[in-house]
Amino acid sequence: MQFKNKITLITGAASGIGRAAALAFAKEGATVIVSDMNHQGGKETVELIHANNGKATFIKTDVSKYEEVEKLMNEIIKQFGRLDIAINNAGISGVITRTKDYPVDDWDKVMSINASSVFYGMKVQIPIMLEQEGGVIVNTASIAGLKGLPNSIAYTASKHAVIGATKTAAMEYGRNNIRINAICPVFTVSPMFDPDALEKIAQGVPDKLKANVPMKRFAEVEEQVGAMIWLCSDQASFVTGLALPVDGGLTA
């Protein structure tokens, strides 16, 4: 119960890595604010947590809209009075195509959901953490924040932005006892990355992707969550500004 009564916000928690994180933080005693634009999925995450006697509530938010992110923070303060941990995790992969064919609208959409959302989140989370004289933030980037990923220019640019924003904010607020890090997942089995569905539309591609990973497999959501938990724990009390690859050695 290392996060007993810690007020913990997780965005993109209706599904995949975010849902797994919500369940794991609740199991460690946190009071989890499950946030997502997917109402049904968010409610289901809360029900799963309640079924395990954990504490959670759902607040619907579109993280690509600053007014909604601000409203989310106000609601957290109204209901709980503080925010100890924030996991800015919501994201989309966007269309898969070459740069010259990449639609401008899709670029804007991916950048706002993946990158602007992290800035908006930290912009409202940091003031309350300053008042409390401490807090922890983990942003979900990607290995595509560390290296190029052909056919995904917006996704790759957005995740590089997440890492830049993470490092900058970490340097600004280290002196205030606010630690800010990012995780950089490799292909992780989730609704966003479904190897079986991919195999049906692009035969042999999942095996090729797997072959590039030194550990010769894809990640499970719980393996990404393990890194989030460590970064939020006292075990990582001197770790800030890190973009941690959780990638089976891909970027080694």
Q: Please confirm, yes or no, whether 66 is among the known catalytic residues.
A: no
Site string for ligand NAD, 140-179 (x = CB under 6 A): x-x-------------------------------------
d(CA 222, CA 47): 19
Q: Which two tokens stand for residue 29?
A: 């005693």
Going from the C-alpha of 125 to that of each of 87, 164, 198, the distances in angstroms are 10, 17, 37
97-116 residues near ligand NAD, rule: CB under 6 A: 113
H or E element at residue 179: strand 178-185
Out of 36, 153, 182, 242, which residue is the one contacting ligand NAD (CB under 6 A)?
Answer: 36
Residue among 238, 235, 86 nearest 177 (CA): 238
Q: Does 54 bind ligand NAD (CB under 6 A)?
A: no
Integer Rg of the chain from CA: 17
User: What is the SS3 assignment for 79?
Assistant: helix
Binding piece for ligand NAD, criterion CB under 6 A, among 75-83, 125-133, 191-199, 227-235: 191-199
CB of 133 to ligand NAD, least distance (A): 29
Active site residues: 155
| Residues that bind ligand NAD in the complex, under the rule CB under 6 A | 11-12, 14-18, 36-38, 41, 61-64, 89-92, 113, 140, 142, 185, 187-188, 190-193
